[in-house]
Amino acid sequence: MSHNRQVTCSYLLNLLHGISNHTGLTLERPITQSRLRRIQEEVQHQLTTLKDPRKGQASPIEVRRNLECRKMGSSSVNWEGLSPKSRYILDTMKELREKLDLVGKSLDLVQKDAHRTNNKVEALSKAKEEGVGGHSGHSRSSHSSKEER
């Protein structure tokens, strides 16, 4: 398997270099080779997990399906089939979703308060422009009388 991986990486590297020669893109060989190796290992791991899930653990497809069911509020999630890591991730996601809902509700309250404050400021500004405000006339007269002295 290691030999196949090396052949595949070198083949992909040659293919990428051929593409880069035609397009004018430059590739750094060591970085590209390590990236290809990591990507290939991830893909191989995912394929292995999908083909032969370990006993007592769900495949990534089942985990994704369980996540969707949980989002919809379904209680039919097969918790026994999930690995401890998957359970931890799902629990963490649930907690974060709840916190996000609380933050969203708080944001709504803040937006409503800001809207009310803006309305009050606009009303006071209009009143001041129209000369309805009692303080504006008083401050002008007292200010002008100080200048006269």
Q: Any idea where the domains of the chain sit in the sequence?
A: 1-52
Q: What is the pLDDT of residue 108?
A: 78
Q: Sign of the CA dihedral 104, 107, 113, 118? A: negative
Q: What is the pLDDT of residue 24?
A: 53
Q: What does each of the 149 residues of the chain score in pLDDT, given as a tens digit?
A: 444 444 455 555 665 555 555 555 555 555 556 666 676 666 666 656 555 455 555 555 555 555 555 554 444 556 667 778 877 887 888 888 888 877 777 877 888 888 899 999 999 999 988 886 555 455 555 555 555 55
Q: What is the pLDDT of residue 18?
A: 58
DSSP secondary structure, 19-77, as one string: HHHHH-----HHHHHHHHHHHHHHHHHHHHHHHSPPTT---HHHHHHHHHHHHTT-S--
